[in-house]
Structure 1
């Protein structure tokens, strides 16, 4: 009798836990490589104009790289095989033909964390229109999910950044694989070795007056980074230093980082007089309380390397900045 009562109690507890609301639902951990989408769409649609539209949006070249690399890598599969472990990808885009026109963005549908987006339309033309009209929203949702995942991975093994906090008044989540190449009271150069080169961060501050608003902003950002590079990052040849590639016009955007207005600049760096170059991403964070721009820049040197995922890691690192 006691054993029977105990068994009933266990079953009752298990049923309560499994049915006590959506937040108690037991779902598996998501998986997948960074910046790789699972694309669920009929083979015929994928091979036709719908697939072309998807690739033109989601596999468009990443801005600011020295060679064409896609925004996302895409793994297509037809709906018939979308079951079991294939539903556990972290980022999923599904196309449904014959349904009402629209775009639905959901989280943690089959796994956690997960961004699951459904694009639907009655005809091929409707689906293409929904993709184009919602491209910014779709890309932003996937990119935010991937940045969160990259930051989670970085937090598993953190670099000790007490000197950064003490001297420049901010914190940043860096993997322990980084090392300090140079440090002064107002400048830090951090490096991480990769297969045939390095990933680098340089961090410094300048007065608010150093960067003007409007059309002059990109000119000032380039002028500031070139002057800092000339002082702090010299090349192996006499007279060589880190600067900005003059033949490649940088992209500049206004964004928000740590709840502060920020200028995001993407372009190509070069080592003056030494014929070396690569991509950089520069964030100038407006810190009015301290009357300064805190500037955090990431760049990669790696001959023959694909740069997308390295630059994405640097972007994820920089977006963890918290000014004290």
Structure 2
């Protein structure tokens, strides 16, 4: 039986000699893989990095889900080995003849490596979610879609066209919003970002309120917004990340939302995850929300 890989979510093992790690190569790796996550209201690294010298490439290190092996050698090479020591696992080997060659390889290949790691971490988080699931029959019936939602979530609000699920804990809360719009109500020609903001803010005005009557959830455009076109369950979708704020209040945090074009059912599905965690890091909470949404199955 192959061994199961282990490791905290969003953590990578970099196997590299101390001399390289403490110089420009180490700087280059840290700049690429520990750069700030897009869309968080406070800076947090994309991945936590554990560094190990080459001679410890054995035992517990080989059980890591993501391993990047960086060394100097006789020729330049770049390979990705799937499930080399454990399952699921990506082992990335980067070898360069000179420091300059190594640096160039890291520069050139890092977008590809980051994409592979991100996809692997979403899958790993989805496996963790399978352990305990909330009853989502209401969602299946109402929206003709399936989501695996952990059982620490409960319904904060539900009506015929909208569902708000919330998980509360001592340091804050995470929320999931689900609704749908007829295709005719929103044109995805031109500036999609403006339309996402409009949908988000109108949901905030209708349903997500603070203690004051005037307080409602809205997107804070003074923070950077990141939008990309992706595919979810085989359908065209728009992913938007940024910072929400509650009007007339000090509350704010990170959000990620998805507009999914479901032409077959003549609708656009809108899903959003957001968190309010004022005193702790948000990255892994947001990663969980992203993992829940990206596991969507549309009936």
Deviation at 1:126, TM superposition (A): 1.0
Tell me which of 115, 138, 152 is aligned to 2:113.
138
Give the helix-richer structure, 1 or 2. 1
Deviation at 1:215, TM superposition (A): 4.5
Instruction: Describe the superposition over 1:133-190 as per-residue Cα deviations: whole angstroms up to 9, x where unpaired.
Output: 1112101111111111110010011111111010111000111111111111111000
> Where does residue 318 of structure 1 map in the other structure?
293
Largest Rg, 1 or 2 = 1
| Contact 1:61 1:70 survives alignment (8 Å) | yes
| Contact 2:144 2:298 survives alignment (8 Å) | yes
1:269 and 2:244 aligned:
yes
> Where does residue 63 of structure 2 map in the other structure?
88
Give the distance between the partners of 1:100 and 1:59, measured in 2 at CA: 27
> Where does residue 12 of structure 1 map in the other structure?
none
Alignment of 1:1-324 (within 5 A): 26-213=1-188, 215-324=190-299
Give the distance between the partners of 1:185 and 1:166, measured in 2 at CA: 10
Deviation at 1:210, TM superposition (A): 3.9
SS in 2 for 1:44: helix
Give the distance between the partners of 1:124 and 1:214, measured in 2 at CA: 47
Instruction: Describe the superposition over 1:44-87 as per-residue Cα deviations: whole angstroms up to 9, x where unpaired.
Output: 11111111111111001001001110000000010111211221
Give the distance between the partners of 1:119 and 1:214, measured in 2 at CA: 42
Which structure exhibits the higher relative contact order, with contacts defined as CA atoms closer than 8 Å and separated by 6 or more residues?
Answer: 2
Give the distance between the partners of 1:89 and 1:303, measured in 2 at CA: 31
TM-score of the superposition, structure 2-length normalised?
Answer: 0.97
TM-score of the superposition, structure 1-length normalised?
Answer: 0.90
SS in 1 for 2:125: helix
Count of aligned residue pairs for this structure pair: 299
Structure 2, unaligned stretches of length 5 or more?
Answer: none
Moved over 4 A (4+): none
Deviation at 1:195, TM superposition (A): 3.2
Give the distance between the partners of 1:100 and 1:318, measured in 2 at CA: 43
Deviation at 1:27, TM superposition (A): 2.8
Give the distance between the partners of 2:224 and 2:24, measured in 1 at CA: 33
| Contact 2:180 2:270 survives alignment (8 Å) | yes
Give the distance between the partners of 1:222 and 1:138, measured in 2 at CA: 31
Give the distance between the partners of 1:256 and 1:291, measured in 2 at CA: 17
| Contact 1:40 1:82 survives alignment (8 Å) | yes
Structure 1, unaligned stretches of length 5 or more?
Answer: 1-25
| Contact 2:41 2:253 survives alignment (8 Å) | yes
Which stretch shows the higher mean deviation, 189-198 or 303-312?
189-198
SS in 1 for 2:191: helix
